Structure 1
Amino acid sequence: MIYKNNNGWTKEMVENNKETIFKFAEGYKNILDLGKTEREFVNQGIKLAEYKGFKNAETLEKINPGDKVYYVNRGKNLVLVVVGKDDILSGANYVVSHVDSPRIDLKGNPLYEDLELAYMKTHYYGGIKKYQWASIPLSLHGVVMLASGEKKEIIIGEDDTDPVFTIPDLLPHLAGKYQGDRKTAEVIKGEELQILVGSIPTYVENEDIKENIKYAILEKLNNAYGMIEEDFISAEFQMVPAFKAKDIGLDRSMIGAYGQDDRICGYTSMKAILDIEEIPNRTAICFLADKEETGSNGSTGLQSNYLEYFTGDLISKIKGNYCEMYLKKCLWNSKAMSSDVNAAMDPVFKAVHEEQNAAKLNHGIVVTKYTGARGKAGTNDADAEYVWEIRNLLNTNNIKWQIGELGRVDEGGGGTVAMFLAQYGIRTIDVGPALLAMHAPFEVSSKLDVYETYRAYQAFFHM
């Protein structure tokens, strides 16, 4: 390889930095367990930000260089800002990641009974291999707005004493004809992703009750949370893996967990800005977005105008006045790291990668000049000058890095939020770590790569 800083776990690093890297990984594992949904991750981020002295920008009339502030958008976006010494119109340094992850959502009318079992119907979110979600323990996370207008946050399945849920698969003895000829994507079909939730009937004597087990489940929800069946319509319930983040390997060098795409970048970028002590020259912004896994749509996705909203508010409170040209100048002069993961090459499945341009675990953060599919469709293709700036930044700070593409040219592909940042004129490039088993319920990262990602974002905030 041609890069001087990506040679993995060197003897020097093991002897001098292993303890620091492993300690950093513990904080990352902890927030993965506490923030399994975008709402939960944002809530954890707010707590950490306030502990570090960040103030809610919406409550302030004036913001000055050195101030540390945050913005929250509908509980699903978090923006952390450290105001720099330079004029805000000269641009800011954005690190933008997403904190939504593939999962199983409940439908608006999910609960039913059949064969004396209670199930809930679902609709999966994001790109998943559906068969991976069958026959594993799942926990229920979400919020519900009750008929009264009261908001309830619900988590079932994370405490050791909690029950869990599951999607039963078909036993191999009977699956030969029914599933045997299905393509991989349809071994389990979307409508077959149904959650088993109970089997004991109610003993309330009422001739109007036709489904005794379904009614018993509704009784439990009503007793615990005040829910009625209609409240499912005004709820956001997500089924996620019930297991916790774990060390992988006899050497504990890797992390296995749900939601590392892209909370690995969410955590490292958030930690990097929270740890800023000296006022940077350029304003540093960490933006945790939502809805990337479904196209960045909606009012909390990158295709909304929320980036314009909070940047405009920031400009007006720093300068004391505002005009549209101020916002355009600031954005056009800004730089960004679209912080998202790449695919680490698996020795078992080498054929889908082009090895010379594939990312590898333990080789540091991955610089991805372009993503997209086929003929670079649906991507931001960073210009050579900006790629050089990032390359020089990483080399100067002795950060382990590598380049990477998302598979062979016609093998598949994927996208990030980079192109939505670039449309404002923000110079943007994808920079994030590589994962094995991306989008699976249990993704794999390297502790070394996690730490080098944190260091890269630290350096960028001070660029």
Structure 2
Amino acid sequence: MKETYSRTKSVWQRMDADERQAVMDYGEKYKAFLDAARTERLAADEIIGQAEAAGFKPVYDMDSLKPGDKVYWNQKGKSVILAVIGEEPVHAGIKIVGSHIDSPRLDLKANPVHEQDGIVYFRTHYYGGIKKYQWTCIPLALIGVVYTKDGKKVDINIGLKDDDPIFYVSDLLIHMAQDQMKKTLAEGITGEQLQAIAGTNAEEDLKPKEVFMKMLKDTYGIEEEDFAAAELELVPATKSRDVGFDRSLIASYGQDDRVCSYANLEAILQAKPGVKTQAALLTDKEEIGSYGNTGMESSYFVKFVMKLLALQGKDAILDFYETMENSEMLSADVNSCMDPMFAEVSEKDNASFLGYGINLTKYGGARGKSGSNDANAEFLQKIRTIFNEAGVCWQIGELGKVDQGGGGTIAFMMADWGAEVVDCGTAMLSMHAPYDLLSKADAYETYLAYKAFFESK
């Protein structure tokens, strides 16, 4: 039987030839998902498309539920829940894997277009935790939706095709950067300097901004006021790529948390229907605290569970908390791993490593575990046993040294309702960068872990 837990042997050292090929095949499908699902809206569309192709139906169209039924909930085109009904009734508990499909980015402001010294800019407001200097001098794509005055929805997707134009945030040339180079990394580029260049063309009687707005009107039917009814995001226009001579790694935008979200999707599509109902939760707004009606601080997951209960003839309100107390969840979010170039921020014996399997994190938060879900030992034992019996390679790892920093996930929100929850996701390098890095082996083990969890009793 394969050694599933080791701090001295990587997953690669524990795999046979067939497993290695499976890792590489999975990596190709995962890269295709990354390139297609670059925003939360695109991710939701991709997830629902694959789910419907696999036989999932909208839960709000169902009159009743029986074991084996496949249903989904679409929350405003930004969050999705997929569920496969188990042999036991829903109130006996749900096997939940919860990941998020939003990623750090630059959002256009409500009044974004302005001209300065002959250059047309998009003003932006960054979304999520970023190192601002990393977002200069890279190709950016503009993706999202705009509504015109007459209520017409206009989909925008510019910058991903090879012949598309891109957008660009400039930085100061090194020859004139003496003062800038004396600043801290946090101060070198300010939030207000994250303005994306959108054009410079002018005509005899029209200034650059006027030419720009005329092009928007002629091409998309968009006027300047319409930006007030828009959601437009600037995201890296780079494609996902293999890294290393051995192609063992993947670099891409948005792997936090689409590595776990893709594994979550694949797991529920491939898992055998179980005794318990299985639910893949793929949510929005995690990067900014899970607020809003598409984030986990809202009630849509509650409404989804209540809908399942009602379709099985239960009292939705009274039985919700019993259902959650009988439920188990893997909070499927990424974690940092040991970076030899920045080893001083990690405590090696409690850090995860690239290529050593899916990462179990008992607690997160900051300082004295503030804001953390602290998983119960009994549940950790159960998860460890599931992984070991299924041959899943796993490791343990915290988010850096004590008092070094910290981070949170959606784990505590589900635990608040009584579920057993543990953070369980892929370890990665350069998290929240425009182009972050992880191991193909870890991505594949993440999928195997979620599938094993769904199929467990």
TM-score tier (shorter): over 0.9
Give distance in 2, aligned partners of 1:282 and 1:5: 31
Corresponding position: 1:409 with 2:397: no
Structure 1 equivalent of residue 294 of structure 2? 300
Give distance in 1, aligned partners of 2:5 and 2:121: 55
The correspondence for 2:378, drawn from 370, 379, 385, is 385
3-state SS of paired residue (1:61): coil
Give distance in 1, aligned partners of 2:445 and 2:127: 30
In the TM superposition, 1:231-310 aligns within 5 A as 231-276=226-271, 278-310=272-304
Give distance in 2, aligned partners of 1:361 and 1:170: 34
Unaligned runs of 5+ in 2: none
3-state SS of paired residue (2:91): helix
Structure 1 equivalent of residue 200 of structure 2? 199
Normalised by the size of structure 2, how large is the TM-score?
Answer: 0.97
Amino acid in structure 1 at the alignment position of 2:198: V
Give distance in 2, aligned partners of 1:92 and 1:402: 25
Structure 2 equivalent of residue 181 of structure 1? 182
* Deviation readout 1:122-161 (Å, 9 max, x if unpaired): 1000000000000011010111111110111110000001
TM superposition shift of 1:13: 1.6
CA contact (8 A) 1:202 1:215 kept: no
Give distance in 1, aligned partners of 2:339 and 2:316: 51
The correspondence for 2:359, drawn from 354, 366, 371, is 366
CA contact (8 A) 1:111 1:121 kept: yes
Give distance in 2, aligned partners of 1:400 and 1:5: 8
Give distance in 2, aligned partners of 1:291 and 1:279: 29
* Deviation readout 1:17-50 (Å, 9 max, x if unpaired): 1111101111110011011100000000011001
Structure 1 equivalent of residue 454 of structure 2? 461
Give distance in 2, aligned partners of 1:333 and 1:12: 35
Report the CA distance shift for 1:273/1:227 in structure 2 as closer, same or farther (over 3 A): same
In the TM superposition, 1:23-38 aligns within 5 A as 23-38=25-40
Corresponding position: 1:172 with 2:159: no
The correspondence for 1:434, drawn from 427, 431, 440, is 427
Identity score, percent: 44
3-state SS of paired residue (2:319): helix
Amino acid in structure 1 at the alignment position of 2:25: K
TM superposition shift of 1:70: 0.6
TM superposition shift of 1:327: 1.0
The correspondence for 2:53, drawn from 42, 51, 62, is 51
Amino acid in structure 2 at the alignment position of 1:299: N
Give distance in 2, aligned partners of 1:333 and 1:315: 14
3-state SS of paired residue (1:256): strand
* Deviation readout 1:395-448 (Å, 9 max, x if unpaired): 111111000000000100110110111100011000001010000000101000
Structure 1 equivalent of residue 117 of structure 2? 115
Give distance in 2, aligned partners of 1:10 and 1:303: 39
TM superposition shift of 1:377: 0.2
The correspondence for 1:335, drawn from 328, 344, 347, is 328
The correspondence for 1:132, drawn from 122, 134, 139, is 134
The correspondence for 1:106, drawn from 100, 108, 120, is 108
TM superposition shift of 1:16: 2.7
3-state SS of paired residue (2:15): helix
Structure 2 equivalent of residue 4 of structure 1? 5
CA contact (8 A) 2:12 2:20 kept: no
TM superposition shift of 1:5: 5.0
Corresponding position: 1:141 with 2:134: no
TM superposition shift of 1:4: 3.3
TM superposition shift of 1:62: 1.2
Unaligned runs of 5+ in 1: none
Amino acid in structure 1 at the alignment position of 2:282: L
Runs of 4+ in 1 over 2 A off after TM superposition: 2-7, 9-12, 320-323
3-state SS of paired residue (1:360): coil
Give distance in 1, aligned partners of 2:421 and 2:237: 36
* Deviation readout 1:94-137 (Å, 9 max, x if unpaired): 10001000000010001111111111111000000000000011
The correspondence for 2:414, drawn from 421, 425, 429, is 421
* Deviation readout 1:343-366 (Å, 9 max, x if unpaired): 011111000000000010000000
3-state SS of paired residue (1:105): strand
- The number of aligned residues is 453
Give distance in 1, aligned partners of 2:200 and 2:299: 47
3-state SS of paired residue (1:132): helix
Structure 1 equivalent of residue 73 of structure 2? 71
The correspondence for 1:398, drawn from 372, 391, 399, is 391
* Deviation readout 1:279-305 (Å, 9 max, x if unpaired): 210000000011110011111111111
TM superposition shift of 1:222: 1.1
CA contact (8 A) 2:94 2:323 kept: yes
TM superposition shift of 1:11: 4.8
* Deviation readout 1:63-118 (Å, 9 max, x if unpaired): 11110111100011110000000121110011000100000001000111111111
Give distance in 2, aligned partners of 1:418 and 1:314: 22
TM superposition shift of 1:320: 2.4
Amino acid in structure 1 at the alignment position of 2:202: P
Corresponding position: 1:97 with 2:99: yes
CA contact (8 A) 1:5 1:395 kept: no
Give distance in 2, aligned partners of 1:272 and 1:154: 31
CA contact (8 A) 2:5 2:395 kept: no
Give distance in 2, aligned partners of 1:39 and 1:187: 32
Structure 2 equivalent of residue 326 of structure 1? 319
Normalised by the size of structure 1, how large is the TM-score?
Answer: 0.96
Amino acid in structure 1 at the alignment position of 2:164: D
Give distance in 1, aligned partners of 2:186 and 2:276: 46
Report the CA distance shift for 1:113/1:58 in structure 2 as closer, same or farther (over 3 A): same
CA contact (8 A) 1:5 1:398 kept: no
